[in-house]
Amino acid sequence: MAHRSPSLWIYAAAIFVATTADAGGSGICYDSFQAIGNVDAHFTFLKGKFGAVRLQVAAGVWLRGPIAFEDDLKAAVDGVKRHPTNVMAVYVGNEDLDHGWSAEQVVDKIRVVRAAFAAQGLGNVPIGTVQTDGQFLANPDLAAACDVVGVNIYPFFDSSAFSMLFPVDNLDKRYAAMV
């Protein structure tokens, strides 16, 4: 099989992160949608663009389905037990408020996950959720229940002309509203 170079998206992500003015806390979200054999080539490329390449995981616990929730929770606890320095946070759900869940239901699941980690002596792991910026702003109690939040900000969720013409400025404005 011929060697493929990393795809365009990985170049773009690396260049964006490498040129960000405040890159101290930056990272990239990596998920290979190609053959597993390409991972080494991708990380070799990334290693040339950054001072350090290491693996840190923000584990996700899926909410939409009781079996998935229980399986993901067990896997997250097991992962933290086996690799405590590699798991930086556990996120409970992703954009669930846009899919029929209430903020209170998500908070209840955050409490279940936090209790499961504490019961295993892993109470130091930050627990939170990932939702859109609009959902967090509309539900401040949800953010207050989290040790850490993951925020999805998409310019295409805002149909204003400003968002369409200036998506990066729109991102900056919406990010500033979150912090």
Helix count (H) and strand count (E) of the chain? 8, 4
Higher pLDDT, 37 or 144: 144
- Condensed to tens digits (0 to 9), the pLDDT of residues 37-84 reads 788 888 788 777 766 667 788 899 999 887 889 999 999 999 999 999
Torsion of CA 18, 22, 24, 26, to 10 degrees: -60
Under DSSP, the state recorded for 16 is H
Higher pLDDT, 86 or 139: 139
- Condensed to tens digits (0 to 9), the pLDDT of residues 6-36 reads 444 444 444 444 444 444 455 666 665 667 7
Q: How many CB atoms lie within 10 A of CB 114?
A: 21
| H, E, C per residue of 26-77 | CCCCCCCCCCHHHHHHHHHHHHCCCCCCCCCEEEEECCCCHHHHHHHHHHHH
Over residues 157-168, the mean pLDDT reads 82
